[in-house]
Amino acid sequence: MTVEETATQVVVSHPSDASTSVTILKYGATVISWKLKGEEQLWLSSAAKLDGSKPVRGGIPLVFPVFGKNNTDELLSKLPQHGLARNSNWEFLGQTKSNPPTVQFGLNHKVANAELTKLWPVEFNLILSVELGEDYLKTGIEVENVSNDTMKFNWLFHTYLKIDDIEDTMVSNLVGMKVYDQLLKESFIDKHPVVTFHQETDSIYQNVDSDRLIQVVGKGVQLHSIKRNNLPDAVVWNPWVEKSAGMGDFEPKDGFKNMVCVEPGHVSDFVSLPAGEKWSASQLLYKDELKYQAIEP
Ligand code: BG6
């Protein structure tokens, strides 16, 4: 069986190699594990709540319709940080392709977390597709505006990647990009050839061309390659010591050494989707050679 559904999750295994698999929790349609030839690629906190009592700390939580805590938009500002998709039970829509095995999950205003849809009374329809390749994982989202007005939203895949040691890790190919540092609350052009980590990092790289391949490199070896489609921004986040200590569901406390979030999204601006229209985007996680892309002239 390549797809196994239980009450709370769906596990998809690759038909040609069962040691390659993806597990998706129905709560938040959160990917909580992606194993490539037996090796886990994502970081998941050992204290992550998987019972629907709070968003999952780790894996690939889905951020919609707002990134962070908004305080300017009349409606979106009522929602908690990162919106309502990660705090809702999604419906499993079934398998749509046998090879590469692909499954879909759906969420709309009728089935989403009622406490939160009360705060953001907008009619929407989301379909998440999870495609498990022999050597990649692709997550795609389609947002449909089924209301009568233009819908404003952010989308982001909050991807927690597993690494060996944050101090030996670099994120490449973001040189020359405009970045908003959420800690300094300042924007600047990042002139560093690579992003390195020595303290808490929370940066939104903006309008990063889709042909920029973001790579996570550990001790000179490519660990993760991330391609983005229709997702112009990329958040790079590591909570470091103090922030991890303050998060009750972040364990082990030194787990920040083994994770880095690279989060493809559309978050600097809102997507404005006219009534009746659809918007789609995806992220592709895979392995590649090291490909350094120089700063644009
Ligand atoms: C990142 C944000 O995307 O998510 C950070 O840039 C935030 O500012 C982090 O701290 C985690 O958010 P949360 O709500 O899952 O604790």
> Which residues are identified as catalytic?
158, 263
* Residue 83: DSSP 8-state: B
Mutate to test the pocket of ligand 1, among 44, 202, 204 (most ligand atoms within 8 A of CB): 202
Does residue 230 contact residue 291 with C-beta atoms inside 8 Å? no
Cα dihedral value 152, 280, 215, 83, nearest 10: 40
Give the pLDDT confidence of 146-178 residue by residue, as tens digits. Answer: 999 999 999 999 999 999 999 999 999 999 999
For atom 1 of ligand 1, the residue with the nearest CA is: 237
CA of 68 to the centre of ligand 1 (A): 7
List the residue whose alpha carbon is closest to atom 6 of ligand 1: 202
pLDDT at 1 over 90: no
Token pair recorded at residue 14: 């690759």
Report the pocket of ligand 1 as residue ranges, CB < 6 Å.
Answer: 81-82, 158, 182, 202, 235, 237, 263
Q: Which atom of ligand 1 is nearest to the CA of 61?
A: 15
Burial degree of 263 (CB within 10 A; 0-12, 13-18, 19+): buried
Q: Which atom of ligand 1 is nearest to the CA of 67?
A: 3
Token pair for 131: 């495609």
Coil/strand/helix, residue 175: coil
pLDDT by residue (tens digit) across 243-279? 999 999 999 999 999 999 999 999 999 999 999 999 9
